[in-house]
Every structure is written in C-alpha cells, then in structure tokens.
C-alpha cells in the first residue's frame, strides 16, 4: 500500500459535524458569574457575528460548510494521511500507525480550519476588523491569513514574551497584512493601565484577551475571534476527522485508537469527534485519547466543576475539567497546550467516560518528536509531539501484548518555527517536571466557583 492516502478536492466534506446532537448527556449551560443563572447566546452578540453564535448553540447534527469556505479550504485541503511505515519499523511494533497531517496548511497547523470560516461569517455580516490574542503565534497567523483573503483588517495582541522571542511569527502575520501589538500595549485602556503598574511585564494570554476584547467591544464594525475552546471552533475542526474517515476507508482500514494533542480541545475534537460519531451511530468501539502535558494535566488530574475560562475571571462560568483558573503551567515549549481548563463538550465526554486522556512528561514528548522526525522526515511541533508520544506508547503496548491495533494520530502541525525547543532538548535544557499532588490541590482549593450538581 502507498504511504500517502490522498483525497481529491471534490471529497472535501460539505458539512461540519456537531457532536452535541449525539451526546447522551448534553453540556451544562454556562452561568453568569454574579447571578449564577444560566446565560444565553445573546450575551455573545457584541463580540461575535450572529451566524457563529448560532453555531455555538445549535443542536443540529450537521452544519453546511459555505462554498466560499470550501473553496479556500482547497488551498491546502484535503490534507494528506500517511501510513507511518518507517516509525512502525523503528518501533518494531505489530501496530499499524497512521497520521493525519495538518501541517500542510499555509500557517503550518490546523488553526486555519476555523480561522477561514470565522473570517467568512464576519465578512458576510459587514465586519471591517477582527481582533484576537495570540500566544506562540499559530492562531494569530491563521487569522491573519484568513482575514487577508476576505479583505478584513486584522489586529493581533501577541503576548510580549512571544513577541520578543518569536519575531518570525510576527513577520508571518505581517506578510498577510495583519497589525501585531506586543501585549500589554499602549493601544488599549487595560494595556496602558497594566503598563503603568508593571512596565516590565512580559504579558499573558489573559491580558492579551482583555485587550483584544476591549477593542472589539468599543466599535460596532469590529468583532473578536477565538482559536479554541468554544463549540463553533470545535465544530469547524471536524473537517479533519471527516476527511480522515474517508481516508481510512480508502486504506481499507479503521482505527482502534484515535489520538490527538489537547490544549483547549479544538485539535482533539477535530480528529476525534467524527470517529466518536461512528461509535454513536454504528456501535463501534473506537478509543479516543487526548494527549496533554504532565505539567498542565487538567484532564488526568483536574476536577470537573464550574470555572472561569480566563485568568482574570471575566468570562461566564463554564462546566469544565480544570486545574483552577489561576493555575500557571510551567513554561514548556508546547505553548498551545498551556491552558488551565478543557472546553465544555470534551469535559462532558470525559466525565461520561466516552473518551480517555493521557499525560506525558516533556522529556518523553521530545524523545517522541525526534523519533518521529528521524523515521518519517517531518519535525513535529511540540504540541503535535504529545500525540505522537501517546501513539508510541500504544504501539509499544501492542508489541508487549503481541497484538496488532490500528492507531491514528493527529499531526496537527510542523515544528519549523519551534526549532528553539529542539535546540533546548539537544542541549539538555529540557528537564522532567514533576507536578506534585499538593500543588494541584492547592490550586483547586482556591476555587470558590460552583460545583457540578
């Protein structure tokens, strides 16, 4: 069989899949932090276009992808699936390993899958400018690319630490015409206030979100966009898993285990939800595993309760697996996975034991990344290497047990902009990070938010 399983552009799925329709227990509603009453979609109207708000709350099983979005998707989609023959050989495993490769997108990750429809719906509703935050820069790059296609102005608040350390991500955003501010910035009230108080701060994602929201809230032609966590973001990413099902069928195979890295949930949701649909609709038993960093283990060691989505406690309360909203993860290189909580859909699925989770130490992650690069040729982003670590662990288990299983992993992005991380690994500067039970309990104990009934 060939290494690459390719689809034609005609095979780009025509609908996104909404797992909420099939969930036995629907996610609990978000609560107003003051009244503790459920809040409705109207609360989102100042920040998001109406069509995205509808998608956020819809219970329809499928949502049609606009032709214009499918047309832009075709710049890089369908993405290839690979059979990892070389990795299988390196591991000497009876397992069959496949990977779906999202790194072929213009920005090198899965993020444009949602950036493009978000920019599209904003355009349709006459929005002139979109603001957003970015940490490592993947999301900011994706939104810049998408906005440039629709002629929408894009303003990115980039955490000062990344702005200074990752200048090339900023250049990439500039190439697609975006304006990038180091955050905190002088461009917003909240930014000015923080700079006055802490002139030397390196910023945080929480601050950058506040700045982006402030700008969007002030102007009726400006909206805000988010790259993970929310339901509509997960919805858009299901394009990945739906293509993957077609590709597995083409290969005459079907995964026993589906694996993806886990930050806010959009990466995992993108690959896994369409396979979970097969479990729901066809009674299959496909195991879906979310791979998280041991230094930010909300799924494997967090609690399931209401918590804020941001550090400052300004969002609605969301029912999620969390480490506490002011938990500060170690500064690992997989910046995309450093988030204290899990999106509400994934949290409910984990609670209901419909998915699994697994945590990996940083050293194990980079060892997996290097093995993959040596065998398959692609140097994975540190985020992607978490999924590979789980895949390798499962393949080794197959070897020990003497059974063959089919494993599919989401290679969500390449590491071309992350070579500093590999440099640190080779130099021995990446160390095992032990997070004690005490530290986790201390962070959770600070929570005063409601428990899940």
| Residue ranges that bind a copy of itself, judged by CB under 8 A | 2-4, 6, 8-10, 74-76, 86, 104-106, 108, 145, 148, 167-168, 171-172, 174-177, 370, 373-374, 376-379, 414, 416-417, 419-420, 422-423, 426
Check if the beta carbon of residue 289 is closer than 8 Å to that of residue 257.
Answer: yes
Minimum separation from the CB atom of position 445 to a copy of itself (A): 41
Minimum separation from the CB atom of position 9 to a copy of itself (A): 4
Minimum separation from the CB atom of position 145 to a copy of itself (A): 6
Q: Which is nearer to a copy of itself, 112 or 336 (by Cβ)? A: 112
How many CA atoms, within 13 angstroms, populate the side-chain half-sphere of residue 28? Answer: 24
Longest dimension (CA), the chain: 63
Q: How far apart, in whole angstroms, are the C-alpha atoms of residue 112 and residue 105?
A: 7
E strand or H helix at 257, and its extent? strand 257-261
Query: What are the residues whose beta carbons fall under 8 Å from the beta carbon of 94, sequence distance 6 or more?
Result: 398, 399, 402, 403, 404
Q: Which is nearer to a copy of itself, 106 or 450 (by Cβ)? A: 106
How many CA atoms, within 13 angstroms, populate the side-chain half-sphere of residue 211? Answer: 29
Query: What are the residues whose beta carbons fall under 8 Å from the beta carbon of 224, sequence distance 6 or more?
Result: 47, 48, 130, 131, 132, 212, 213, 216, 217
Check if the beta carbon of residue 226 is closer than 8 Å to that of residue 55.
Answer: no
Q: Which is nearer to a copy of itself, 59 or 74 (by Cβ)? A: 74
Minimum separation from the CB atom of position 221 to a copy of itself (A): 23
Minimum separation from the CB atom of position 421 to a copy of itself (A): 9
Minimum separation from the CB atom of position 420 to a copy of itself (A): 7
Minimum separation from the CB atom of position 281 to a copy of itself (A): 30
Nearest residue to 216 (alpha-carbon basis) of 114, 313, 129, 122: 129
Q: Which is nearer to a copy of itself, 25 or 74 (by Cβ)? A: 74
Q: Residue 140 is encoded by which pair of tokens?
A: 């900011």
Phi, psi of 318, rounded to the nearest 5 degrees: -120, 140
Nearest residue to 383 (alpha-carbon basis) of 309, 300, 298, 290: 290
Q: Which is nearer to a copy of itself, 3 or 218 (by Cβ)? A: 3
Check if the beta carbon of residue 213 is closer than 8 Å to that of residue 240.
Answer: no
Q: Which is nearer to a copy of itself, 165 or 420 (by Cβ)? A: 420
Minimum separation from the CB atom of position 320 to a copy of itself (A): 34
> What does the angle CA 119 – CA 177 – CA 135 come to, to the nearest 5 degrees?
70
């Amino acid at each position: 069989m060939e290494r690459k399983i390719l689809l034609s552009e005609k095979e780009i799925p025509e609908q996104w899949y909404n797992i909420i329709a099939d969930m036995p227990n629907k996610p609990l509603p978000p609560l107003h932090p003051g009244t503790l009453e459920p809040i409705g979609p109207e609360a989102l109207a100042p920040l998001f276009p109406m069509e995205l708000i509808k998608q956020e709350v819809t219970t329809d099983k499928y949502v049609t992808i606009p032709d214009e979005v499918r047309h832009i998707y075709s710049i890089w989609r369908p993405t290839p699936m690979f059979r990892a023959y070389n990795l299988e050989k390196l591991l000497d495993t009876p397992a069959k390993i496949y990977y779906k490769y999202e790194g072929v997108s213009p920005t090198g990750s899965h993020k444009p899958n949602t950036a493009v429809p978000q920019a599209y719906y904003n355009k349709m509703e006459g929005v002139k400018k979109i603001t957003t935050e970015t940490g490592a820069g993947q999301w900011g790059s994706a939104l810049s690319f998408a906005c440039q296609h629709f002629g929408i102005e894009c303003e990115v608040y980039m955490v000062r630490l990344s702005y200074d350390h990752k200048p090339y991500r900023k250049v990439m955003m500039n190439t697609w015409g975006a304006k990038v501010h180091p955050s905190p910035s002088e461009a917003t009230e909240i930014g000015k206030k923080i700079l006055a108080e802490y002139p030397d701060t390196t910023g945080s994602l929480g601050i950058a979100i506040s700045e982006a929201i402030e700008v969007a809230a002030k102007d009726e032609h400006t909206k805000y966009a988010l790259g993970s966590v929310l339901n509509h973001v997960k919805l858009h990413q299901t394009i990945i898993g739906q293509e993957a099902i077609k590709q597995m069928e083409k290969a005459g195979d079907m995964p026993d285990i589906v694996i993806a890295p886990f930050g806010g949930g959009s990466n995992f949701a993108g690959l896994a939800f369409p396979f979970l649909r097969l479990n729901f609709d066809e009674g299959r038993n496909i195991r879906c595993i979310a791979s998280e960093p041991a230094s930010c283990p909300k799924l494997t060691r967090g609690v399931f309760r209401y918590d804020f989505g941001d550090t400052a406690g300004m969002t609605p309360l969301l029912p999620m697996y969390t480490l506490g909203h002011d938990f500060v993860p170690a500064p690992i290189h997989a910046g995309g996975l450093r988030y204290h909580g899990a999106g509400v859909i994934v949290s409910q699925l984990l609670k209901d034991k419909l998915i699994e989770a697994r945590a990996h130490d940083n050293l194990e992650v980079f060892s997996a990344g290097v093995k993959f690069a040596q065998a398959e040729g692609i140097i994975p982003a540190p985020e992607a290497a978490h999924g590979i670590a789980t895949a390798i662990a499962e393949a080794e288990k197959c070897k020990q047990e003497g059974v063959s299983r089919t494993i599919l992993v989401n290679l969500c992005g390449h590491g071309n902009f992350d070579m500093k991380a590999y440099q640190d690994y080779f130099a021995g500067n990446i160390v095992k990070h032990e997070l004690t039970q005490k530290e986790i309990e201390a962070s959770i104990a600070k929570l005063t938010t409601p428990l899940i009934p």
